[in-house]
Amino acid sequence: MERTWTKAMLGLALAVGVSVAWTAPALAQGKIQIGCTATSDCASAMVAVDEGIFKKHGLDVEMTPIAINSNIPAAILSNSIQVGGPTSTVFLQAVDGGLDLVAIAGASVMNPTSNTAIAAFVRNGITIKEPKDFIGKKVGAPGLNAFLHVLFVKWLVEKGVPPRSVNFVEVTFPTMADIIKSGGVDAVLTAEPFVTRMTDAGIGSVGARYGAELGRTDPIIFYAAGRDWAEKNMATVKKFREAIAEAAAIVNSDREKASASIAKFTKQPLEFVKATPPNQSEPNLKPENLAWWIGVMSSQKMLQSKLDTAKLVLN
């Protein structure tokens, strides 16, 4: 499997990062950019912006859309964003590749509802009746080695299908429908509300609900920052955590507010967002929560070193 953080990419990120190093405690008084992809996983941050929760906690925060999740670590390092919402897999591989990132708060976790929302969506003309039918197929993932991709590979392995027998390419969430319709890929790894939109458009059908079959409860996405920035701005991090915890309670209890914020950020029609509950927000993230992911990624040879979970989450 292709490694997201090659030495060349790491070198490029470091080169960019040097010119805007983390030597700006004044950022705590300025605007904080949070970068996330177009999913509901960062709903707590979206709600915290729209409901004025960040402002109430003395923070000036703006959400920035990131097309591919695997681009978030480099965006953090280059200081184009101060906080990002990488998937657990992207974060761990970036740290394994040498980037000094640290998790500062939880965003979303897998649960029965979110697991059911995950799917391998197959274009018309392709028949998938069992896992081995994915052999030889071209499958689009919203970030190679990101959450949906690694989870799908884990599912293939459990079903006895060699991951190398599937051709994976990167496809962003907003372009999935067009690429499926054009036949550019045979299937995409996606989630709601994109599954419903593509189904209603008549361009394909669900080939596998692989998230539900795995049935995990581990972190999907969490908020991360450069360790140096986080340690120099501990007061800001504390306020950020308090705001995220307050917003997470709204995400988990107020469908209307959560859906409105998600639709606004992801630019998805509100009716489609309302059709599917947002992923469960869990602001509390503990080091041990990352152990399962480390085990899965190590088995897929995605990690080259032994990661210490105690160093991955800011105290």
Mind listing the pLDDT tens digit for each residue in 182-233? 999 999 999 988 999 999 999 999 999 999 999 999 999 999 999 999 999 9
- Amino acid of residue 99: L
Tallying the residues shown for the chain, one arrives at 315
CATH topology of domain 113-214: D-Maltodextrin-Binding Protein; domain 2 (3.40.190)
Fold assignment, 7-110+218-311: D-Maltodextrin-Binding Protein; domain 2 (3.40.190)
The DSSP 8-state label assigned to residue 28 in this structure reads G
Compute the distance between CA of residue 298 and CA of residue 194 in angstroms, rounded to an integer.
30
Quote the CA–CA distance of 190 and 132 in Å, as a whole number. Answer: 19
pLDDT digits (tens, 9 = 90+) for 238-271: 999 999 999 999 999 999 999 999 999 999 899 8
pLDDT band per the 50, 70, 90 thresholds, residue 1: very low
CA 8 from centroid of its chain's CA atoms: 23
| Helices 291-299 and 147-158, axial angle in degrees (round to 10) | 60
The neighbour count for residue 7, using CB atoms within 10 Å, is 10
Instruction: Using a cut of 0.75, tell me whether the model's pTM lies above it.
Output: yes
Buried-state track 57-83, b at ≥16 Cβ within 10 A, e below 16: bebebebbebebbbbbbbbbbbbbbbb
User: What would the two tokens of residue 302 be?
Assistant: 């995605």
Domain with CATH 3.40.190.10 in the chain: 7-110+218-311, 113-214
- The pLDDT, as a whole number, for residue 3 is 41
Place of tokens 């340690």: 231
